[in-house]
Amino acid sequence: MDEATLHKLSERIVGGATREEIIRSLHNIQGEPYPVDRATAAVNFARLGFPGEALVVENLVSFAPMDDKAYVIHAFSQVLVRQPSEVELARFTHQLEVGGITRLDLLELLNDVALSEGRHIAWDYPSRFPQPKGYGDAAETSLLVQASGFRALSESSNETLTLCRFTGQKWELAPSMITRTEDIRADSWVVSDGFILTGPKSTIADGFWVVELDVVQPEWASLVVDVVANAGIDRLLHVTAHGNVRGSFRFEKLRMHAFPEVRLRVQDAVPGQWISVQSVRLRKIG
């Protein structure tokens, strides 16, 4: 990759591009089709057959919850595929900060602009959001759980992040989780050697955490569980499990550990090997 391309991708990340968009760009650079039909992106994985270009309202409004300026930049990049002007950024950030508009209001305004430009956006939103005025038809698919179901604070102020869970009807992924499978069945994934689930590269508090896993697989199958930080430079946890896995594994997150990421990797797979990930969570314990 040349320096100019790397610089452009870096600018897109700073502007709020998602991991899925960066991966898609890398596929385009190499002249490869982006394999959305195999559910490699979180939004497609959570809703089988869901259009790759759909925007999930709950993911948008929960972006950077304490930073309205970052949210405005991200909303513009996702809905209008551009950066806000200096005036737009200042005006909408101010309106959000003083309560003049809500984050959902901003999406409605940007959707109106998109429609005026001749672009019809497919939106998906959970039942806890009222259907926005002027939005395109909602996708006829099962919905993700509410955003608050993925990240919550307990009474003891210890944080819990649900990264992936199986409801008995579908798998649900937290925002920014990436998966790779050979095939998706009603009750399992067909997998080969390599990473099958990674993410979320999210900011979490310093201290002691546990990875809580509930995974069903053949008794001879091997699953490697890593928690890494700083793009994989620092390894905080490394476990190899054989057969079914249900338990908690502790690691310590220090200030120097930026953007921790859980990685599940299959090794020594045989053709047609399956795995059923019931639950993956991060929980702070101290």
Who wins on pLDDT, 272 or 5?
A: 272
Strand 159-166 to 151-153 pairing? antiparallel
Nearest CA to 194 out of 224, 237, 160, 236 is that of 224
- DSSP structural state of residue 98: T
pLDDT tens-digit series, residues 22-69: 666 776 677 665 454 333 333 333 333 333 345 667 667 777 778 899
* Structural domains of the chain in order of their starting residue, each with its CATH number: 3-124 (no CATH), 147-284 (2.60.120.430)
Residue 232 pLDDT class (50, 70, 90 cuts) = confident
Distance CA 137, CA 159 (A): 35
Dist CA 165 CA 161 (whole Å): 11
User: Poorest-confidence range of 70-79, 104-113, 162-171?
Assistant: 162-171
